[in-house]
Amino acid sequence: MRLSPLKRHSVIAAFAPLVVALGQQPIISFSDSPGAFQIAGGPIAQPQILVSSNEFWGVIRAAGDLAKDFGRVTGTNFTLSNGEAGAEPAAYEYKPITRNYTHYEVNDTQRFHGPEFTDPSTENIAIIAGTLGHSEVVDGLVTSGKLDISGIEGKWESFTTKIVEDPISGCAKAVIIAGSDPRGTIYGIYDISEQIGVSPWYWWADVPIKQFKEIYVLPDGKTQGPPSVKYRGFFINDEQPGLSGWVERNYPDTPYGVGYNADFYSTVFELLLRLRANYLWPALWATMFEVDDPASQPLADAWEIVLGSSHTEPIMRAQNEFGTFYTNEGLGPWAYNLNNKTIDEYFVYGAQRAKPYARNSLWTMGMRGTGDTAIEGLGVEFIVSMLETLVHNQRAIIEDVLDVTIDEAPQLWCLYKEVMSYIQQGLTIPEDITLLWADDNWGNVRRVPVGNETIRPGGAGVYYHFDYVGDTRNYKWINTIQLEKTAEQMQLAYAHGADRIWIVNVGDLKPLEIPLTHFLDMAYDINQWGVDDVGNWTLTWATREFGSEYASSITEIMTRFGMFAARRKFELVEPYVYSTINYNEGDAVLGQWQGLAQDAQAIYDQLNETHQPAFFEMVLHPILGGQIIHQVHIGAERNMVYANQHRNAANDMISKVLASFDADADLTIRWDSLLDGKWKHMLDQTHFGYDGYWQQPMRNVLPAMAYVQGAISSIAGSVGIAVEGSNASIPGDDKYHANSGNTLVLPSLDPYGPVIRWFDVFSRGKANCDWWAETDLSWVKLSQYSGTVGPDNGTDSRVFVSVDWASAPQVTNNTVANINFSTGCGRDGFSNWYGPPIVQLPINLRTVPANFTSGFVESDEHVAIEGPHYQRIHTPSSVPSNSEITYKILRNYGRTLGGVTLWPQKTSPQTPETAPALEYDLYLFTNTSKANVTLYLSPTQNYLSDKTPLEFAVSLFPVGAEQTEPQVVQFVGESIGANMPPGWGRAVADAVWGLAPIHNTTTTWNIAQEGAYTLRIWGLAPSVIVQKIVVDLGGVRPSYLGPPENFLVGRDEIGVYNQTSFADAYAVV
609: left (phi over 0), alpha (psi -120 to 50) or beta: alpha
φ, ψ dihedrals at 723, nearest 5°: -125, 155
| Sign, CA torsion 299/303/304/305 | negative
Q: For residue 134, what is the DSSP state? A: S
Q: How many CB atoms lie within 10 A of CB 173?
A: 15
User: What percent of the chain shows pLDDT beyond 90?
Assistant: 93
Q: Is the peptide bond before 241 cis (omega within 30 degrees of 0)?
A: yes
Give how far Cα 679 sits from Cα of 204, 502, 817, Å: 9, 28, 60
φ, ψ dihedrals at 120, nearest 5°: -60, 145
Q: Of the candidates 904, 910, 915, which has an alpha carbon nearest to the alpha carbon of residue 878?
A: 915
Gyration radius of the chain's alpha carbons: 32
- pLDDT for 12 equals 30
**Which of 1039-1056 are b and which e, b meaning 16 or more Cβ less than 10 Å from the residue's Cβ?**
bbbbbbbbbbbeebeeee
- pLDDT for 13 equals 33
CA distance 936 to 1068: 19
Q: Of the candidates 697, 702, 703, 623, which has an alpha carbon nearest to the alpha carbon of residue 241?
A: 697
| Sign, CA torsion 73/77/49/267 | positive
CA 816 to chain CA mean position, Å: 47
Length of the chain: 1069
Burial class (CB in 10 A: 0-12, 13-18, 19+), 745: middle
Q: What is the 3-state secondary structure (H, E, C) of 1008-1020?
A: CCCEEEEEEEEEC
* Mean pLDDT over the full length of the chain: 95
- pLDDT for 1066 equals 61
379: left (phi over 0), alpha (psi -120 to 50) or beta: left
Mean pLDDT of 373-402: 96
User: DSSP string covering 719-755, please?
Assistant: EEEEETT-S--BSS--TTS-TT--EEEPPPB-TTS-S
Amino acid at 277: A
> For strand 433-438 and strand 411-415, is the pairing parallel, antiparallel, or unpaired?
parallel
- pLDDT for 458 equals 98
Cα torsion at 863, 866, 872, 873 (round to 10°)? 110
**Which of 492-530 are b and which e, b meaning 16 or more Cβ less than 10 Å from the residue's Cβ?**
bbbbbbbbbbbbbbbbbbbbbbbbbbbbbbbbbbbebbe
- pLDDT for 738 equals 87
- pLDDT for 11 equals 31
φ, ψ dihedrals at 263, nearest 5°: -65, -45
CB 417 within 8 A of CB 473: no
- pLDDT for 19 equals 55
**pLDDT tier at 3 (50, 70, 90 boundaries)?**
very low
CB 363 within 8 A of CB 436: no
CA distance 829 to 771: 8
Cα torsion at 986, 989, 990, 993 (round to 10°)? 50
Mean pLDDT of 774-778: 97
Mean pLDDT of 272-296: 97
Which residues share a beta bridge with 890? 899
CA distance 276 to 157: 10
Mean pLDDT of 904-910: 98
CA distance 695 to 540: 37
Q: Of the candidates 960, 932, 956, which has an alpha carbon nearest to the alpha carbon of residue 1016?
A: 956
Which helix (H) or strand (E) segment holds residue 514: the answer is: helix 513-524
Q: Is 630 helix (H, G, I), strand (E, B) or coil?
A: helix
Which helix (H) or strand (E) segment holds residue 418: the answer is: helix 418-424
Burial class (CB in 10 A: 0-12, 13-18, 19+), 849: exposed
- pLDDT for 832 equals 86
Q: Which of 14-18, 151-155, 395-399, 756-760 has the lowest mean pLDDT?
A: 14-18
CA distance 140 to 171: 14
Q: For residue 202, what is the DSSP state? A: T
Which helix (H) or strand (E) segment holds residue 501: the answer is: strand 501-505
CA distance 626 to 1037: 26
Give how far Cα 539 sits from Cα of 545, 943, 947, Å: 10, 31, 41
Which helix (H) or strand (E) segment holds residue 183: the answer is: helix 182-196
Burial class (CB in 10 A: 0-12, 13-18, 19+), 35: exposed
Identify which has the larger pLDDT, 1066 or 300.
Answer: 300
| Sign, CA torsion 541/544/548/554 | negative
Identify how many contiguous H helices and E strands the chain contains and give both numbers: 21, 41
On the CB side of 570, how many CA atoms lie within 13 Å of its CA? Answer: 29
- pLDDT for 776 equals 97
Report helix angle 621-644 to 585-606, nearest 10: 150
- pLDDT for 20 equals 62
CA distance 745 to 898: 34
- pLDDT for 17 equals 42
Give how far Cα 579 sits from Cα of 47, 366, 574, 652, Å: 64, 47, 11, 19
- pLDDT for 976 equals 83
Contacts 24+ apart (CB under 8 A), 596-600: 596/557, 596/560, 596/561, 596/564, 596/623, 596/627, 597/623, 597/624, 597/627, 598/2, 599/1, 599/2, 599/3, 599/553, 599/556, 599/557, 600/557, 600/624
- pLDDT for 750 equals 97
> For strand 110-113 and strand 215-217, is the pairing parallel, antiparallel, or unpaired?
unpaired
**pLDDT tier at 7 (50, 70, 90 boundaries)?**
very low
Residues 840, 844, 849: CA angle, nearest 5 degrees: 175
Burial class (CB in 10 A: 0-12, 13-18, 19+), 853: exposed
Q: How many CB atoms lie within 10 A of CB 972?
A: 26
- pLDDT for 371 equals 87
Report helix angle 548-566 to 534-546, nearest 10: 130
Amino acid at 354: A
Burial class (CB in 10 A: 0-12, 13-18, 19+), 111: middle
CA distance 470 to 467: 10
CB 179 within 8 A of CB 185: yes
Amino acid at 474: N
Residue 14 has pLDDT above 60, yes or no: no
Amino acid at 432: D
Amino acid at 516: L
- pLDDT for 1064 equals 82
| Edge-first strand listing for the sheet containing 411-415 | 306-307, 279-281, 231-235, 501-505, 460-465, 433-438, 411-415, 363-364
φ, ψ dihedrals at 433, nearest 5°: -85, 130
pLDDT, one tens digit per residue, over 303-346 is 999 999 999 999 999 999 999 999 999 999 999 999 999 999 99
Amino acid at 206: D
**pLDDT tier at 6 (50, 70, 90 boundaries)?**
very low
Q: How many CB atoms lie within 10 A of CB 1006?
A: 11
